[in-house]
Amino acid sequence: MEIKTIMVIGAGQMGSGIAQVAAQSGFTTILHDVNKEAVQRGLQGIQKSLAKFVEKGKLSAEEMEATLGRLQPCDDMAAAADCQIAIEAVVENMNVKANIFRELDRLAPADAILASNTSSLPITEIAAVTSRPEQVIGMHFMNPVPLMKLVEIIRGLATSDETYETIEALSRHLGKTPATCRDVPGFISNRVLQVMINEAVWCLYEGVATAEDIDMIMKLGMNHPMGPLALADLIGLDTVLAILEVLQAGYGDPKYRPCPLLRQYVKAGWLGRKSGRGFYRYG
Ligand code: NAD
Protein backbone atom coordinates (compact mmCIF):
# COMPACT_ATOMS: atom_id res chain seq x y z
CA MET A 1 0.00 0.00 0.00
CA GLU A 2 1.33 3.44 -0.86
CA ILE A 3 0.76 5.82 2.01
CA LYS A 4 0.29 9.44 0.98
CA THR A 5 -2.15 10.83 3.50
CA ILE A 6 -2.42 10.22 7.22
CA MET A 7 -5.37 11.48 9.23
CA VAL A 8 -4.91 12.16 12.94
CA ILE A 9 -8.07 12.36 15.04
CA GLY A 10 -7.61 14.36 18.25
CA ALA A 11 -5.38 17.43 18.25
CA GLY A 12 -4.32 17.36 21.92
CA GLN A 13 -0.73 16.94 23.00
CA MET A 14 -0.38 13.45 21.46
CA GLY A 15 -2.39 14.02 18.28
CA SER A 16 -0.57 17.22 17.42
CA GLY A 17 2.79 15.51 18.09
CA ILE A 18 1.86 12.59 15.83
CA ALA A 19 0.66 15.00 13.12
CA GLN A 20 3.92 16.94 13.36
CA VAL A 21 6.05 13.82 12.91
CA ALA A 22 3.87 12.57 10.04
CA ALA A 23 4.08 15.92 8.21
CA GLN A 24 7.82 16.17 8.89
CA SER A 25 8.20 12.72 7.33
CA GLY A 26 6.60 13.90 4.07
CA PHE A 27 2.99 12.76 4.47
CA THR A 28 0.01 14.96 3.78
CA THR A 29 -1.46 15.10 7.28
CA ILE A 30 -5.05 15.88 8.17
CA LEU A 31 -5.43 17.02 11.79
CA HIS A 32 -8.95 16.67 13.14
CA ASP A 33 -10.58 17.49 16.47
CA VAL A 34 -14.20 17.97 17.58
CA ASN A 35 -12.99 21.17 19.14
CA LYS A 36 -11.89 23.74 16.53
CA GLU A 37 -9.81 25.60 19.10
CA ALA A 38 -7.92 22.40 19.89
CA VAL A 39 -6.87 22.15 16.23
CA GLN A 40 -5.64 25.75 16.29
CA ARG A 41 -3.80 25.16 19.58
CA GLY A 42 -2.34 21.97 18.11
CA LEU A 43 -1.08 23.80 15.04
CA GLN A 44 0.45 26.53 17.19
CA GLY A 45 2.21 23.88 19.27
CA ILE A 46 3.56 22.25 16.11
CA GLN A 47 4.81 25.60 14.83
CA LYS A 48 6.60 26.25 18.14
CA SER A 49 8.16 22.81 18.20
CA LEU A 50 9.37 23.08 14.58
CA ALA A 51 10.80 26.55 15.28
CA LYS A 52 12.83 25.02 18.15
CA PHE A 53 14.23 22.39 15.76
CA VAL A 54 15.18 25.20 13.34
CA GLU A 55 16.83 27.17 16.18
CA LYS A 56 18.89 24.13 17.11
CA GLY A 57 19.92 23.63 13.47
CA LYS A 58 18.13 20.26 13.26
CA LEU A 59 15.69 21.47 10.59
CA SER A 60 15.98 24.11 7.87
CA ALA A 61 13.51 26.99 7.57
CA GLU A 62 12.43 25.55 4.18
CA GLU A 63 11.75 22.14 5.75
CA MET A 64 9.68 23.84 8.44
CA GLU A 65 7.60 25.67 5.82
CA ALA A 66 7.17 22.48 3.78
CA THR A 67 6.08 20.58 6.91
CA LEU A 68 3.50 23.25 7.78
CA GLY A 69 2.31 23.15 4.17
CA ARG A 70 1.56 19.42 4.47
CA LEU A 71 -0.71 19.94 7.50
CA GLN A 72 -4.44 20.26 6.88
CA PRO A 73 -6.57 21.39 9.84
CA CYS A 74 -10.04 19.88 9.73
CA ASP A 75 -13.25 19.57 11.74
CA ASP A 76 -15.15 17.21 9.46
CA MET A 77 -14.64 13.45 9.85
CA ALA A 78 -15.61 13.02 6.18
CA ALA A 79 -11.98 13.92 5.37
CA ALA A 80 -11.21 10.31 6.35
CA ALA A 81 -12.19 9.41 2.77
CA ASP A 82 -8.79 10.76 1.65
CA CYS A 83 -6.50 8.85 4.00
CA GLN A 84 -4.70 5.52 3.80
CA ILE A 85 -3.97 5.51 7.55
CA ALA A 86 -6.04 7.04 10.35
CA ILE A 87 -4.46 7.41 13.78
CA GLU A 88 -6.88 8.14 16.61
CA ALA A 89 -5.54 10.11 19.61
CA VAL A 90 -8.61 11.33 21.51
CA VAL A 91 -9.34 11.01 25.24
CA GLU A 92 -8.67 7.66 26.92
CA ASN A 93 -12.31 6.57 26.97
CA MET A 94 -13.64 3.42 25.30
CA ASN A 95 -17.05 4.86 24.36
CA VAL A 96 -15.53 7.92 22.69
CA LYS A 97 -12.97 5.81 20.84
CA ALA A 98 -15.58 3.24 19.77
CA ASN A 99 -17.74 6.00 18.25
CA ILE A 100 -14.77 7.35 16.33
CA PHE A 101 -13.82 3.92 14.99
CA ARG A 102 -17.44 3.34 13.84
CA GLU A 103 -17.25 6.66 11.97
CA LEU A 104 -13.82 5.93 10.51
CA ASP A 105 -14.97 2.50 9.39
CA ARG A 106 -17.90 4.11 7.57
CA LEU A 107 -15.89 6.95 6.01
CA ALA A 108 -12.35 5.71 5.31
CA PRO A 109 -11.48 3.75 2.15
CA ALA A 110 -12.00 -0.02 2.49
CA ASP A 111 -8.26 -0.74 2.50
CA ALA A 112 -7.33 2.00 4.99
CA ILE A 113 -5.69 0.99 8.27
CA LEU A 114 -7.25 2.36 11.46
CA ALA A 115 -4.77 2.77 14.31
CA SER A 116 -5.29 3.86 17.91
CA ASN A 117 -2.77 5.68 20.07
CA THR A 118 -4.55 4.40 23.18
CA SER A 119 -2.34 4.00 26.25
CA SER A 120 -4.16 1.03 27.68
CA LEU A 121 -7.54 0.18 26.12
CA PRO A 122 -8.01 -3.20 24.38
CA ILE A 123 -7.32 -2.98 20.65
CA THR A 124 -9.42 -6.12 20.10
CA GLU A 125 -12.47 -4.40 21.58
CA ILE A 126 -11.90 -1.22 19.54
CA ALA A 127 -11.47 -3.35 16.40
CA ALA A 128 -14.69 -5.25 17.07
CA VAL A 129 -16.87 -2.17 16.44
CA THR A 130 -15.56 -2.02 12.86
CA SER A 131 -16.18 -4.25 9.85
CA ARG A 132 -12.40 -4.52 9.32
CA PRO A 133 -10.86 -5.77 12.59
CA GLU A 134 -7.89 -7.19 10.66
CA GLN A 135 -6.99 -3.61 9.67
CA VAL A 136 -7.11 -2.21 13.22
CA ILE A 137 -3.96 -1.93 15.33
CA GLY A 138 -2.46 -0.10 18.30
CA MET A 139 0.19 2.46 17.45
CA HIS A 140 1.24 3.83 20.83
CA PHE A 141 3.53 6.83 20.55
CA MET A 142 5.38 8.27 23.54
CA ASN A 143 5.14 11.82 24.86
CA PRO A 144 6.52 14.20 23.55
CA VAL A 145 6.13 12.50 20.18
CA PRO A 146 8.68 14.56 18.18
CA LEU A 147 11.43 13.66 20.69
CA MET A 148 10.66 10.13 21.85
CA LYS A 149 11.98 7.24 19.82
CA LEU A 150 9.59 4.42 20.68
CA VAL A 151 6.34 3.26 19.12
CA GLU A 152 4.72 0.36 20.95
CA ILE A 153 2.76 -1.63 18.37
CA ILE A 154 -0.16 -3.64 19.70
CA ARG A 155 -1.67 -6.43 17.68
CA GLY A 156 -5.33 -7.08 18.38
CA LEU A 157 -6.64 -10.63 18.17
CA ALA A 158 -7.68 -10.14 14.54
CA THR A 159 -4.88 -7.80 13.33
CA SER A 160 -3.46 -9.21 10.08
CA ASP A 161 0.24 -9.69 9.36
CA GLU A 162 -0.12 -7.26 6.46
CA THR A 163 -1.48 -4.51 8.73
CA TYR A 164 1.25 -5.17 11.27
CA GLU A 165 4.00 -5.04 8.63
CA THR A 166 2.64 -1.78 7.15
CA ILE A 167 2.54 -0.12 10.57
CA GLU A 168 5.98 -1.42 11.54
CA ALA A 169 7.44 0.02 8.33
CA LEU A 170 5.53 3.29 8.83
CA SER A 171 6.90 3.62 12.37
CA ARG A 172 10.45 3.33 11.03
CA HIS A 173 9.65 5.81 8.26
CA LEU A 174 8.53 8.25 10.99
CA GLY A 175 11.98 7.85 12.56
CA LYS A 176 10.76 5.67 15.42
CA THR A 177 11.82 2.28 16.73
CA PRO A 178 8.90 -0.13 16.96
CA ALA A 179 8.50 -2.70 19.76
CA THR A 180 5.66 -5.19 19.62
CA CYS A 181 3.32 -6.22 22.37
CA ARG A 182 0.27 -8.48 22.73
CA ASP A 183 -3.10 -6.90 23.44
CA VAL A 184 -3.17 -6.86 27.26
CA PRO A 185 -4.42 -4.02 29.52
CA GLY A 186 -1.81 -1.24 29.66
CA PHE A 187 0.40 -3.15 27.18
CA ILE A 188 4.02 -3.13 28.46
CA SER A 189 4.78 0.57 28.80
CA ASN A 190 1.87 1.58 31.01
CA ARG A 191 1.55 -1.71 32.88
CA VAL A 192 5.02 -1.05 34.26
CA LEU A 193 5.09 2.77 34.33
CA GLN A 194 1.74 3.50 35.96
CA VAL A 195 2.41 1.23 38.93
CA MET A 196 5.47 3.37 39.67
CA ILE A 197 3.58 6.64 39.21
CA ASN A 198 0.70 5.45 41.41
CA GLU A 199 3.15 4.35 44.11
CA ALA A 200 4.76 7.80 44.03
CA VAL A 201 1.30 9.38 44.49
CA TRP A 202 0.63 7.04 47.44
CA CYS A 203 3.94 8.21 48.99
CA LEU A 204 2.82 11.82 48.64
CA TYR A 205 -0.67 10.99 49.98
CA GLU A 206 0.80 9.26 53.03
CA GLY A 207 3.08 12.24 53.70
CA VAL A 208 6.20 10.12 53.33
CA ALA A 209 8.02 12.91 51.47
CA THR A 210 7.40 16.05 49.43
CA ALA A 211 6.69 15.85 45.69
CA GLU A 212 10.12 17.42 45.07
CA ASP A 213 11.94 14.84 47.19
CA ILE A 214 10.02 11.88 45.72
CA ASP A 215 10.98 13.04 42.22
CA MET A 216 14.56 13.83 43.26
CA ILE A 217 15.01 10.32 44.66
CA MET A 218 13.88 8.72 41.39
CA LYS A 219 15.86 11.16 39.24
CA LEU A 220 19.19 11.12 41.02
CA GLY A 221 18.82 7.68 42.58
CA MET A 222 17.52 5.73 39.59
CA ASN A 223 18.80 7.97 36.81
CA HIS A 224 15.29 8.64 35.47
CA PRO A 225 15.21 11.79 33.32
CA MET A 226 12.06 12.96 35.12
CA GLY A 227 10.56 12.11 38.50
CA PRO A 228 7.29 10.11 38.46
CA LEU A 229 5.12 13.00 39.68
CA ALA A 230 6.52 15.45 37.10
CA LEU A 231 6.00 12.74 34.47
CA ALA A 232 2.39 12.25 35.64
CA ASP A 233 1.87 16.01 35.21
CA LEU A 234 3.27 15.76 31.68
CA ILE A 235 1.07 12.78 30.75
CA GLY A 236 -2.05 14.41 32.26
CA LEU A 237 -3.54 13.20 35.55
CA ASP A 238 -6.88 12.40 33.87
CA THR A 239 -5.03 10.08 31.49
CA VAL A 240 -3.02 8.51 34.35
CA LEU A 241 -6.25 7.82 36.27
CA ALA A 242 -7.99 6.40 33.19
CA ILE A 243 -5.06 4.03 32.56
CA LEU A 244 -4.95 2.84 36.18
CA GLU A 245 -8.70 2.14 36.03
CA VAL A 246 -8.18 0.07 32.87
CA LEU A 247 -5.38 -1.88 34.60
CA GLN A 248 -7.49 -2.43 37.74
CA ALA A 249 -10.54 -3.57 35.78
CA GLY A 250 -8.49 -5.63 33.32
CA TYR A 251 -6.39 -7.59 35.81
CA GLY A 252 -8.73 -7.41 38.83
CA ASP A 253 -5.64 -6.94 40.98
CA PRO A 254 -5.76 -4.40 43.86
CA LYS A 255 -2.13 -3.44 43.18
CA TYR A 256 -3.49 -1.15 40.43
CA ARG A 257 -5.94 0.67 42.76
CA PRO A 258 -5.61 4.39 41.95
CA CYS A 259 -4.51 6.50 44.92
CA PRO A 260 -7.42 8.64 46.27
CA LEU A 261 -5.20 11.73 45.99
CA LEU A 262 -4.98 11.19 42.22
CA ARG A 263 -8.80 10.99 41.99
CA GLN A 264 -9.11 14.16 44.05
CA TYR A 265 -6.70 16.08 41.83
CA VAL A 266 -8.60 15.01 38.71
CA LYS A 267 -11.92 16.03 40.31
CA ALA A 268 -10.37 19.44 41.15
CA GLY A 269 -9.38 19.88 37.51
CA TRP A 270 -5.70 19.76 38.47
CA LEU A 271 -4.70 17.73 35.43
CA GLY A 272 -1.01 18.63 35.28
CA ARG A 273 0.73 20.79 32.71
CA LYS A 274 -2.26 21.04 30.40
CA SER A 275 -4.38 22.76 33.09
CA GLY A 276 -1.52 24.73 34.68
CA ARG A 277 -1.55 22.76 37.93
CA GLY A 278 -0.99 19.18 39.01
CA PHE A 279 1.58 18.01 41.51
CA TYR A 280 3.45 21.16 40.46
CA ARG A 281 2.33 24.56 39.18
CA TYR A 282 3.03 25.72 35.61
CA GLY A 283 2.94 28.95 33.65
P1 NAD B 1 -5.43 15.55 25.39
O2 NAD B 1 -6.40 15.77 26.50
O3 NAD B 1 -4.24 16.43 25.27
O4 NAD B 1 -6.18 15.60 23.95
C5 NAD B 1 -7.34 14.87 23.66
C6 NAD B 1 -8.01 15.56 22.47
O7 NAD B 1 -9.07 14.72 21.99
C8 NAD B 1 -8.65 16.92 22.82
O9 NAD B 1 -8.15 17.92 21.96
C10 NAD B 1 -10.15 16.68 22.59
O11 NAD B 1 -10.81 17.84 22.08
C12 NAD B 1 -10.09 15.58 21.54
N13 NAD B 1 -11.35 14.83 21.39
C14 NAD B 1 -12.16 14.39 22.36
N15 NAD B 1 -13.21 13.74 21.79
C16 NAD B 1 -13.04 13.80 20.45
C17 NAD B 1 -13.78 13.32 19.33
N18 NAD B 1 -14.91 12.66 19.52
N19 NAD B 1 -13.29 13.55 18.08
C20 NAD B 1 -12.14 14.22 17.89
N21 NAD B 1 -11.39 14.70 18.93
C22 NAD B 1 -11.84 14.49 20.18
O23 NAD B 1 -4.98 14.00 25.52
P24 NAD B 1 -3.61 13.30 25.03
O25 NAD B 1 -2.64 13.33 26.15
O26 NAD B 1 -3.24 13.83 23.70
O27 NAD B 1 -4.10 11.79 24.91
C28 NAD B 1 -4.78 11.32 23.76
C29 NAD B 1 -4.65 9.80 23.67
O30 NAD B 1 -3.26 9.44 23.63
C31 NAD B 1 -5.26 9.04 24.85
O32 NAD B 1 -5.79 7.83 24.39
C33 NAD B 1 -4.04 8.78 25.73
O34 NAD B 1 -4.19 7.67 26.56
C35 NAD B 1 -2.97 8.51 24.67
N36 NAD B 1 -1.58 8.73 25.10
C37 NAD B 1 -1.27 9.75 25.94
C38 NAD B 1 0.05 9.94 26.32
C39 NAD B 1 0.43 11.07 27.24
O40 NAD B 1 1.57 11.11 27.73
N41 NAD B 1 -0.45 12.02 27.48
C42 NAD B 1 1.06 9.09 25.84
C43 NAD B 1 0.71 8.07 24.95
C44 NAD B 1 -0.62 7.89 24.59
Q: Residue 155 and residue 234: Cα distance in Å, rounded? A: 27
Task: Write down the pLDDT at residue 191.
Answer: 97
User: What are the tens digits of pLDDT across the range 236-256?
Assistant: 999 999 999 999 999 999 999
Cα–Cα dist 159/135, whole Å: 6
What's the topology of domain 190-273? N-(1-d-carboxylethyl)-l-norvaline Dehydrogenase; domain 2 (1.10.1040)
- Confidence (pLDDT) at 141: 98
Q: Are 6 and 22 in contact (CB under 8 A)?
A: yes
Backbone angles phi, psi at 153, to 5 degrees: -100, 125
Task: Please work out whether the CB of residue 190 comes within 6 Å of at least one atom of ligand 1.
Answer: no
- What is the position in ligand 1's atom list of the atom closest to the CA of 15? 26
Of all protein residues, the one whose alpha carbon is nearest to atom 39 of ligand 1 is 235
ipTM for the complex shown: 0.98
Query: Strands 71-74, 150-155: parallel, antiparallel or unpaired by DSSP?
Result: unpaired
Round the average pLDDT of the chain to a whole number and report it: 97
Catalytic status, residue 131: no
Using a 6 Å cutoff on CB, does residue 123 contact ligand 1? no
Average pLDDT over residues 93-110: 98
d(CA 182, CA 69): 37
Identify whether 190 is a catalytic site residue.
yes
> Is the minimum distance from the CB of 92 to ligand 1 under 6 angstroms?
yes
Q: Please determine, for residue 1, whether its predicted confidence score (pLDDT) is greater than 90.
A: no
pLDDT tens digits, 3-60: 999 999 999 999 999 999 999 999 999 999 999 999 999 999 999 999 999 999 999 9
C-alpha triplet 194, 195, 198: angle, nearest 5°: 80
The finding on whether 91 has its CB within 6 A of some atom of ligand 1 is: yes
**How far does the chain reach from its first CA to its final CA, in angstroms?**
44
The active-site residue, picked from 119, 120, 171, 198, is 119
5-182 and 190-273 in the same fold: no
CA–CA gap between residue 28 and residue 38 (Å, rounded): 19
- Is the domain covering 5-182 a CATH 3.40.50.720 domain? yes
148 pocket-lining for ligand 1 (C-beta < 6 Å): no
Active site residue 173: no
Q: Which atom of ligand 1 is nearest to the CA of 236?
A: 41
Rounded to an integer, the average pLDDT of 177-193 is 97
In the reported structure, the alpha carbon of residue 15 is separated from the centroid of ligand 1 by a whole-number distance in angstroms of 7
> In the annotation, is 119 catalytic?
yes
Distance 231 CA to ligand 1 centre (A): 16
Cα(203)–Cα(210) distance, rounded to whole angstroms? 9
What is the whole-number distance in angstroms between the Cα of residue 195 and the centre of ligand 1? 21
User: What's the Cα-to-Cα distance from 234 to each of 30, 44, 156, rounded to whole Å?
Assistant: 25, 18, 28
* 57 Cα: distance to centroid of ligand 1 (angstroms): 30
User: 261 near 199, Cβ under 8 Å?
Assistant: no
Residue 175 burial (CB count, 10 A): 12
Q: Is the CB of 96 under 6 A from ligand 1?
A: yes
Please give the angle made by the CA atoms of 170, 93 and 107, to the nearest 5 degrees: 55
Exposure of 119 in the CB half-sphere (CA atoms within 13 A): 26
Amino acid (one-letter) located at 264:
Q
- Average pLDDT estimate for 198-203: 98
CA 145 to CA 23: how far, in whole Å? 13
DSSP state of 222: H
CA of 118 from ligand 1 middle (Å) equals 9
Range list of β-strands (E), the chain:
5-9, 28-32, 71-74, 85-88, 113-116, 136-141, 150-155, 177-182
Per domain, the residue ranges of the chain are: 5-182, 190-273
Cα gap 223→116, rounded to integer Å: 31
Provide the β-strand partners of residue 136: 114
Q: What is the pLDDT of residue 56?
A: 96
Q: Determine the pLDDT at residue 180.
A: 97
Residue ranges in 144-210 assigned as alpha helix (H): 161-173, 189-205
* Residues that constitute the known binding site: 10-15, 33, 49, 56, 92, 97, 119, 143, 274
pLDDT at residue 25 in the model: 98
Atom of ligand 1 nearest to the CA of 92: 32
pTM for the structure as a whole: 0.95
Catalytic residue among 116, 117, 171, 190: 190
